Amino acid sequence: MAQYEPVDPRQSFPALEEKILERWRERDVFGESVRRRAGAEPFVFYEGPPTANGRPGSHHVLSRVFKDVFPRYRTMRGRLVHRKGGWDCHGLPVELEIEKQLGFHSKDDIERYGVAEFNAKCRESVLRYIDEWNRLTERIGFWLDTDDAYFTLDDSYIESVWWSLKQVWDKGLLYEGYKVVPYCPRCGTALSSHEVSLGYRDVVDPSVFVRFPVRGEEGVSLLGWTTTPWTLLSNAALAVNPEVTYVRARVGDETLIMAEALVERVLGEGVQTSGPVEVEGLAYEPPFPYIADYGERGHTVLPADFVTVDDGTGVVHTAVAFGEDDFRLGEAVGLKVQNPVRPDGTFDERIVPFAGRNVKEADPDIIEALRESGRLFRSEDYEHSYPHCWRCETPLLYYAKSSWYVRTTAVKDRLLASNEAVAWHPDHVKHGRFGNWLENNVDWALSRERYWGTPLPIWRSEDGEDAICVGSRSELAELGAEVPEDLHRPYVDDISFERDGKTYRRVPDLIDVWWDSGCMPFAQWHAPFENEDKFEERFPADYICEALDQTRGWFYSLLAVSTLLYGRSSYETVLCLGLVLDGEGQKMSKTKGNTVAPWEVLDAHGADAMRWYYFTSKQPWDGYRFSLDAVGESVRQFMKTLWNTYGFFVLYANVNEIGDEPGEPTDLDRWALSRLAATTEIAIERLDDYDTTSAGRA
């Protein structure tokens, strides 16, 4: 009589996994694993919420299996691990998808269609693929409580976010400022510095060397340089560095003033120079006549320490409305801000020849106009890294406008201290990529001029003199407002109230979705309005895990929000994940046809093979060259070896009628038990340090 069930040498691992999943469902194994740990020491895990308006890819499997393995390990070690799921529901990714579906190209299209109708489409979109996400989540063995998931679109979540902003407001750290901000003309909204960092790409732009004739000196020009020819139509001043030596260079029958250190690079060898020349205060003729009034010091040469001799001529064209350095310089010396660019990225009627033209698209014609007027000295291509919208891929403009900010610079030291308490994997991220980001922190540009998101809870008096930040529904009601059930636009836009004889209406902006996500530790529970005990029990997180680029995203927003509110980080350990590339090391994309759908892998090889590949083939932050064949190697080298070894044992155990009664141990038995104990010790040590690669190779 066979003691052990015979092993099928041709067993389909995917089919075997389906049987195991069915057993897990029938017995509620995940739920039971939590219930049996009631009263045990908790291990807190936060789920970084995906957006379910698209189908999950193989890179999502990477993050989800690493989100599973350590909570699962801690459960096996006796810890109580709740795993609350969540869904990120707001923001540009959702809006752009709906715009694409409806054939829209601008915010005007949305306004004509109706904000209520547009947002209803957005709400429907973010829930479209939840069933598919949940099916994949279960199939890959990621234990997650999806029945009690949080949604950032819920009014309860929004109310908690409002509460957080009221706390920041009361501390004097939420303010309105007129600054140059990264701005997407396609989406019609400002972006934060961490969003900008997600969208840099290498591009080739035209760079131009331009003559700025010195007033009162025939044949003498300052030689300026820029990689944004369209901003020359708004030239307000030229900037030079007081620590740099400037000279006159004779080229043919003209004299050019520029930095001595750059003469040879720009003009070539053997050019005759004289100097040094005092350039500060020189007045010059602007390259275009359309805007003349920049104040008393307009169209003069100004000192500025941001000017370098790394590129260009050492003479920097300054357009106050289109650069952070330019704006600060203009503010310091009293230059007027003139912005002839509309919010959609086109020139206004003041720029007569180019009115209605997109500024970047007008560059070639602007260069031609400079050539015809004799102002163009030279034009050439310039390859550099330039920020694009992280969602629609439109080149950003640096654009002077009014926005709302969180004064994160005021808590820079606390942010750095919060980071010191975090264990990073890999550890170089702590003081490298993330630490440097915190060191160079700028105030968080919070407001967004969009439609689908958490409304900024600030009401302003009609005379513009006073503003109130509202932190809850009840606070709105106490102010005499009728509070709608849905706190989204356009319903929240209709809320007004009277106070001290003034009518207050909401400013129309939304907030950055990254602030939404940074509030999840408390907002998922609707704290502090309810469930405060659950929040306190599960704060901070012992472990979070996302892609490395989240140092500019969720990792930052979590740390910033919790530091502002609670004076500490909301997480203690971070595991960073690298990119999932194709088998040749190229980025996967549908246009290249090199994507590998997760179900293709799961159907062919199963979840365990895919998990083992991700866990053991290399350190997760190094990235992966992912393919069906690569996962197939996991099957051949590990899964089948394990399966065939067990099959060999079963075959001979049944032939020899071996039971489960212990016999006298042999030397081989003792070696095997010793090896098992040593392997277990190493695996525990490495998994305690969040290292699946070494644990899997033990």
User: What local confidence, expressed as pLDDT, does residue 668 receive?
Assistant: 93
Tokens of 156: 């309860």
Q: What angle do CA 536, 542, 543 make, to 5 degrees?
A: 130
* Per-residue model confidence as pLDDT tens digits over 470-500: 999 999 999 999 999 999 999 999 999 999 9
Catalytic residue check, 550: yes
Given a cut of 80, is residue 535 above it in pLDDT? yes
Catalytic site residue from 143, 437, 444, 514: 514
Give per-residue burial for 316-342: e unless 16+ CB within 10 Å, then b. Answer: bbbbbbbbebbbebbeebebebbbbbe
Collapsing DSSP to helix, strand or coil, 586 comes out as coil
**Where do we find the tokens 């700028």?**
442
Q: Which residue has the higher pLDDT, 329 or 392?
A: 329
In order, the DSSP letters of 305-332 are TT--SSSTTS-EEE-GGG-HHHHHHHHH
Given a cut of 70, is residue 511 above it in pLDDT? yes
Which range has the worst mean pLDDT, 455-469, 589-603, 665-679? 589-603
Tell me the C-alpha distance between 152 and 143, whole Å: 21
Which range has the worst mean pLDDT, 244-248, 340-344, 378-382, 593-597? 593-597
- Average pLDDT, whole number, for the chain? 93
User: What local confidence, expressed as pLDDT, does residue 93 receive?
Assistant: 85
Catalytic residue check, 590: yes
**Where do we find the tokens 């932050």?**
621
User: What local confidence, expressed as pLDDT, does residue 1 receive?
Assistant: 53
Given a cut of 70, is residue 199 above it in pLDDT? yes
Catalytic residue check, 50: no
Catalytic site residue from 50, 56, 67, 88: 88
525 contacts 531 by C-beta, under 8 angstroms: yes
Tell me the C-alpha distance between 93 and 76, whole Å: 38
User: What local confidence, expressed as pLDDT, does residue 589 receive?
Assistant: 64
Give start and end residues of each alpha helix (H) in 426-486.
428-431, 433-439, 473-478
> What residues have CB less than 8 Å from 194, skipping those under 6 apart?
437, 444, 514, 552, 553, 556, 557
Q: Which residue has the higher pLDDT, 491 or 188?
A: 491
Strand partners, 238: 301, 317
User: What local confidence, expressed as pLDDT, does residue 579 receive?
Assistant: 87
Give per-residue burial for 235-247: e unless 16+ CB within 10 Å, then b. Answer: bbbbbbbeebebb
Residues present in the chain in total: 698
User: What local confidence, expressed as pLDDT, does residue 459 receive?
Assistant: 98
Given a cut of 70, is residue 693 above it in pLDDT? yes
Tell me the C-alpha distance between 322 and 475, whole Å: 39
Instruction: Find the mean pLDDT for residues 87-100.
Output: 91
* Per-residue model confidence as pLDDT tens digits over 201-213: 888 989 999 999 9
User: What local confidence, expressed as pLDDT, does residue 153 receive?
Assistant: 96
* Per-residue model confidence as pLDDT tens digits over 425-438: 999 999 999 999 99
Catalytic site residue from 590, 660, 662, 667: 590
* Per-residue model confidence as pLDDT tens digits over 213-255: 999 999 999 999 999 999 999 999 999 999 999 999 999 899 9
Given a cut of 90, is residue 698 above it in pLDDT? no
Catalytic site residue from 49, 182, 286, 540: 49
Collapsing DSSP to helix, strand or coil, 459 comes out as strand
Catalytic site residue from 67, 554, 582, 608: 554
Given a cut of 80, is residue 393 above it in pLDDT? yes
Tokens of 575: 């595991």
Tell me the C-alpha distance between 558 and 160, whole Å: 15
Tell me the C-alpha distance between 692 and 73, whole Å: 11
Instruction: Find the mean pLDDT for residues 276-280.
Output: 93
Neighbours of 582 (CB within 10 A): 19
Instruction: Name the percent of the chain lying above pLDDT 70.
Output: 99
Catalytic site residue from 84, 169, 550, 620: 550
pLDDT band at 619 (very low <50, low <70, confident <90, very high): very high
Q: Which residue has the higher pLDDT, 685 or 591?
A: 685
* Per-residue model confidence as pLDDT tens digits over 151-171: 999 999 999 999 999 999 999
Catalytic residue check, 305: no
* Per-residue model confidence as pLDDT tens digits over 285-326: 999 999 989 999 999 999 999 999 998 999 999 999 998 899
User: What local confidence, expressed as pLDDT, does residue 546 receive?
Assistant: 96
* Per-residue model confidence as pLDDT tens digits over 42-64: 999 999 988 888 888 888 999 99
Domains and CATH numbers, the chain: 41-178+409-448+517-577 (3.40.50.620), 200-387 (3.90.740.10), 457-508 (no CATH)
Tell me the C-alpha distance between 423 and 437, whole Å: 17
Catalytic residue check, 49: yes
Q: Which residue has the higher pLDDT, 266 or 591?
A: 266
Given a cut of 90, is residue 12 above it in pLDDT? yes
Catalytic residue check, 108: no
Within the chain, what is the greatest distance between any pair of CA atoms? 111
User: What local confidence, expressed as pLDDT, does residue 617 receive?
Assistant: 92
Which range has the worst mean pLDDT, 392-396, 503-507, 531-535? 392-396
Catalytic residue check, 457: no
Collapsing DSSP to helix, strand or coil, 683 comes out as helix
3-state per-residue secondary structure call for 208-254: EEEEEEECCCCCEEEEEEECCHHHHHHCCEEEECCCCCEEEEEECCE
